[in-house]
Amino acid sequence: MFRVAVEMLMHDKTKYIGLFIGIGFTAFLVTFSMSFLAGFMSRGFALVSENPSADIWVMDRAVSSPEATVNMSDGSLSLVRGVKGVAYATPLYLGDVTARYGDGNFQKFQAIGVDDATLSGAPRSKNRLRLPDSVIIDSGGTSGKLQTPLYKKDMWPHDGSHLHATTRELHFGDKLLINDKRAIVADVSHTIARFPPRPLLYTTASNFKRLIPSAKRYTTFIMVRSERGVDAKELAKTISKQTGLKAITSQRFKKETVLWYLINSEDVGDMVNMVVLAMLVGFGVTGVMLYMFTYENIKQYAVLKAMGASNKQLRDMVFTQAFIGVIAGSGIGIAVAALIGVSISGSDFPFRMMWFAPMFGFLGVLIVSITAAMISVRPIVKMEPAIVFKA
C-alpha cells in the first residue's frame, strides 16, 4: 500500500507539485520569519558580540541589557580588579550625546567610552582615538544620518545654518560640536548594526568625560577576562559575592538581553505578531492544499476500498502522502530560506538562521500536515465503495 500511495501522489504532477510548493511556502515563511526575528535579537546584544575577549560583564544589579542601563561608581573597577582570578578588567562608558554638524543640523549618538590605555571595546582603527579630541563614528544600522556639507561655504556658523545644503558622508578630519566642545572624526567604522538602530560614537574615557562633563558616575559596564584555567561562571559568582555587583558571563548576558527585549520592547512585539501571521498564512495554505489533494482523489480511494482495502490501510496511505509532502516540501522551503539568507547576509537586512528556525519550520509544517491529513481521512473512512460508480 505504501507503493500505491506514492504512485497516487506522483500520478498527477500538477497536484503534487502544487502540494510541495504549498508546504515549502509554509516552511519558508516560518523559517525566514524566525531567522528575521533572531537577526534583530542578535543586534540587541551587538555590544557584547563585538567584544568577544570579555568572558564576564559586570554591571549594576538592576541592569539586564545594554539598552536600559544605570552607571556604577568609578571605584567599582578597582573592586573588580582586586578579585582573585581576574586577568584584566576594563571599563566601558555609555551615554547619549547630541552632535551638531557643519550645516547646523544635529544628530543624537550613543557615545561609547573605552579605556584610554587598552582601547578595549573600540572598533578597528582604534589607535586613531589617541589623537586629540578624536572620535570614531558608526551608522549603527541607520542610513543617511552621518552627513556634513559638501561645500565649505555651507559650513555653520560662518553665516548661519544651511540646513538644506548639499551634503556628503562624514570622513576623517570632519568636525562635530558636542556640548559646545569640538570633536574630530578620526574614522568611520562599520561594526554590528544595533537594534533599535542609532548612530554610534566611540571615544576614549578621558574624551568621553570631556564631552559629557555633568555626569556624576561614568562606568556602565566592566569587561572582565578570567585568568587561564579559571572557570568564567565561578569567577562571575565570586565577583558578585565580593563586590555586590552583578557579574554574568557573555552568553548569559546575551540571553538576558533577548529576554529583556521580548518583555519590554514594543518593536519586538510587532515582529512576533508578524511571525505569527506568517505562520498562520502558511499553515492555511498547507492545510487547504493537502485537503484538496486528498478530496480530489476520493474516487481512487473508493476503488481501493471496493477491492478490499481496510480503513486502516487507507488512513496509512493518506498519512504516508502527507509525510512525503512534509519531507520534500519543508526541505525545499528551508533551503530557499537559507539561500536567500546567504544572498542578503552582506547587507543591512537582519537575518540570522539559528538552529531553531529550521526546526520550527519543519515541526510547524508537520503539525499542520498531520492535522490536515486527519481531517482528510474522515470522508475516506466514511465513504461507500459504490461512490466509484457515480458519474
Mean pLDDT of 163-184: 91
Rounded CA-CA distance 46/191 in Å is: 9
User: In the prediction, which pLDDT does 387 show?
Assistant: 62
Rg of the Cα trace of the chain?
30
pLDDT of residue 151: 86
Looking at residue 209, what is its pLDDT? Answer: 94
CA distances from 257 to 41, 60, 251 (A): 8, 14, 10
Q: Choose the weakest-confidence range: 206-215, 293-302, 305-314.
A: 293-302
| Confidence (pLDDT) at 158 | 62
CB 360 within 8 A of CB 55: no
The count of C-alpha atoms lying within 13 angstroms of the C-alpha of 207, restricted to the half-sphere facing its C-beta, is: 28
Calculate the CA dihedral of residues 23, 25, 30, 35 and round it to 10 degrees: 130
**Span 265-299, pLDDT tens digits:** 877 777 777 777 777 777 777 777 777 777 777 77
Question: Distance between CA 146 and CA 171 in Å, rounded?
Answer: 9
Q: How many helices (H) and strands (E) does the chain have?
A: 11, 11
Cβ–Cβ < 8 Å for 76, 224? no
Based on the number of CB atoms within 10 Å of its own CB, is 179 exposed (0-12), middle (13-18) or buried (19 or more)? middle
Specify the pTM. Answer: 0.81
Segment 312-326 mean pLDDT:
84
State the Cα–Cα distance between residues 97 and 252, nearest whole angstrom.
Answer: 29
Give the mean pLDDT of the chain. Answer: 87
Identify which has the larger pLDDT, 369 or 171: 171
Highest mean pLDDT (candidates 275-279, 297-301, 316-320, 336-340): 336-340
Cα separations in angstroms, 258 against 42, 56, 58, 60, 261: 8, 17, 18, 18, 5
Query: Residue 228 has what pLDDT?
Result: 93
Euclidean distance between the first and final Cα of the chain, in Å?
A: 26
Site of grid cell 543617511: 144
pLDDT in tens, 341-354: 888 765 567 888 88
Q: Where are the domains of the chain?
A: 2-43+266-389, 73-244
pLDDT band at 389 (very low <50, low <70, confident <90, very high): low
